[in-house]
Structure 1
Amino acid sequence: MSEDFFILVLLLSIKSINCIDCDLIFPLSQLPNNCTSMTGDIVIDGKNATTLLENHFQFPILQQKFMKIENWTGSIKIIHTDFQNLSFFKSLASVKTDFPGSSFDEDDIHNEMRYATFWIESNPNITSLGIPSLKQVTADVLPTIRTVYGFYLKNNAELCLSDSEFWMLRKMERSLLFGMKICGAVTKQYCYQSHFDHTNLPLGCQILLTGIWLNEIKNTSVQSYLNQAFATVEEVHGPIVIFNTDLTNLSFPLLHTIRNQFYDGQNDWQKQILNIRGNEFLTSLEFPKLTNWSHYGSEEQLTNSGNKIWNYSEPNCHLFRRIPFFSIKDPLSYCGLVPIINDGARTMRVIIQVAEKIASLAFNSVFCMFLCIKLFKCKITTSFYHLAMISYIFLTIVECLFVNLDFVFIFNDNNFAIPVGLRSIFLYRDQKLFNLISNVLYTNRLVLLLSCTLYRPMHLMRFGNWKKFALGSSVVVFFVANISNIFVIEFEEYKLTFAMFPLSVLLFLFSFISNACVCGAMSQIPEPFKNERAPQNLTSLSLFLQALFILIVGLFSEGLNHMFSSSPALVQQVRDFDYFFYFWGSTIMRWHYAIILLIQTAFISHTFVMFSVDDIPTPKPVSP
Structure 2
Amino acid sequence: MCFLFIISAFLVFFCENCETADFSFAACSCAQCSLELLEDNCTEIIGHIIISLESQMPPYEMIEYKLENMQKLTGCLTIANSGFTNLSFLQNLEIVEYSEIGVAASCRTYANTITIAKNALLRDVSALKNLKILNSGENTEYGLYLVDNPSLCLEEEELEAFLRFDKFYAPHFRICHENLLNKTYCRLDSLSFFNHSNLPENCQVLTDSIVINGSITFDLEDSLNSTDFLDFFFFSNATFQERLNSIQEIFGNIVVMNSDLEKLDFPNLRRIYNFQLLRAPPK
Q: Provide the aligned C-alpha RMSD in A.
A: 3.2
Distance 1:148 1:246, change over 3 A: same
Q: Which has the higher helix share?
A: 1
Distance apart, 1:164 and its partner CA: 0.9
- Residue in 2 that maps onto 1:268: none
- Residue in 2 that maps onto 1:30: 37
1:10-49 equivalence runs, <5 A = 20-22=26-28, 27-46=34-53, 49=55
Distance apart, 1:214 and its partner CA: 3.3
* SS state at 1:77 partner: strand
Question: Which of 188, 191, 195 matches 2:192?
Answer: 195
Distance apart, 1:130 and its partner CA: 3.8
Distance 1:188 1:22, change over 3 A: farther
- Residue in 1 that maps onto 2:242: 228
In structure 1, C-alpha distance between the alignment counterparts of 2:29 and 2:275, rounded to whole Å: 32
- Residue in 2 that maps onto 1:128: 124
- Residue in 2 that maps onto 1:162: 155
Q: Contact 1:231–1:253 (CA<8 Å) still a contact in 2?
A: yes
In structure 2, C-alpha distance between the alignment counterparts of 1:181 and 1:95, rounded to whole Å: 25
2:36 aligned partner, one-letter code: S
In structure 1, C-alpha distance between the alignment counterparts of 2:174 and 2:255, rounded to whole Å: 23
TM-score, length-scaled by structure 2? 0.70
Distance apart, 1:174 and its partner CA: 0.8
Question: Which of 137, 142, 151 matches 2:144?
Answer: 151
Distance apart, 1:99 and its partner CA: 3.6
Distance 1:88 1:264, change over 3 A: closer
* SS state at 1:61 partner: helix
Bigger CA drift: 230-239 or 94-103? 94-103
Please list every run of 5 or more consecutive structure 1 residues that lacks an aligned counterpart in the other structure: 1-17, 105-112, 266-624
- Residue in 2 that maps onto 1:217: 216
1:450-461 equivalence runs, <5 A = none
Q: Contact 2:193–2:209 (CA<8 Å) still a contact in 1?
A: no
- Residue in 1 that maps onto 2:99: 98
* SS state at 1:39 partner: strand
In structure 2, C-alpha distance between the alignment counterparts of 1:120 and 1:214, rounded to whole Å: 32
Distance apart, 1:226 and its partner CA: 2.9
The number of equivalent residue pairs is 232
1:88 aligned partner, one-letter code: F
- Residue in 2 that maps onto 1:3: none
Is 1:118 matched up with 2:132? no
Distance 1:29 1:36, change over 3 A: same
TM-score, length-scaled by structure 1? 0.34
1:155 aligned partner, one-letter code: D
Distance apart, 1:223 and its partner CA: 3.4
1:341-420 equivalence runs, <5 A = none
Distance 1:223 1:180, change over 3 A: same
For the pair shown, the structure with the greater C-alpha radius of gyration is 1
- Residue in 1 that maps onto 2:77: 76
1:105-144 deviation line (CA, Å, top 9, x unaligned): xxxxxxxx95210111111111111405223322122xxx
2:209 aligned partner, one-letter code: G
In structure 2, C-alpha distance between the alignment counterparts of 1:123 and 1:140, rounded to whole Å: 26
Q: Which has the higher strand share?
A: 2
In structure 2, C-alpha distance between the alignment counterparts of 1:92 and 1:253, rounded to whole Å: 41
In structure 2, C-alpha distance between the alignment counterparts of 1:103 and 1:156, rounded to whole Å: 21
Please list every run of 5 or more consecutive structure 2 residues that lacks an aligned counterpart in the other structure: 1-23, 221-232
In structure 1, C-alpha distance between the alignment counterparts of 2:173 and 2:88, rounded to whole Å: 19
Q: Contact 2:29–2:39 (CA<8 Å) still a contact in 1?
A: no
1:314-342 deviation line (CA, Å, top 9, x unaligned): xxxxxxxxxxxxxxxxxxxxxxxxxxxxx
In structure 1, C-alpha distance between the alignment counterparts of 2:88 and 2:256, rounded to whole Å: 42
Identity of counterpart residues, as a percentage? 28
> Comparing both chains, which one has the higher relative contact order based on Cα–Cα distances under 8 Å and sequence gaps of 6 or more?
2
Distance apart, 1:229 and its partner CA: 2.3
Distance apart, 1:201 and its partner CA: 2.9
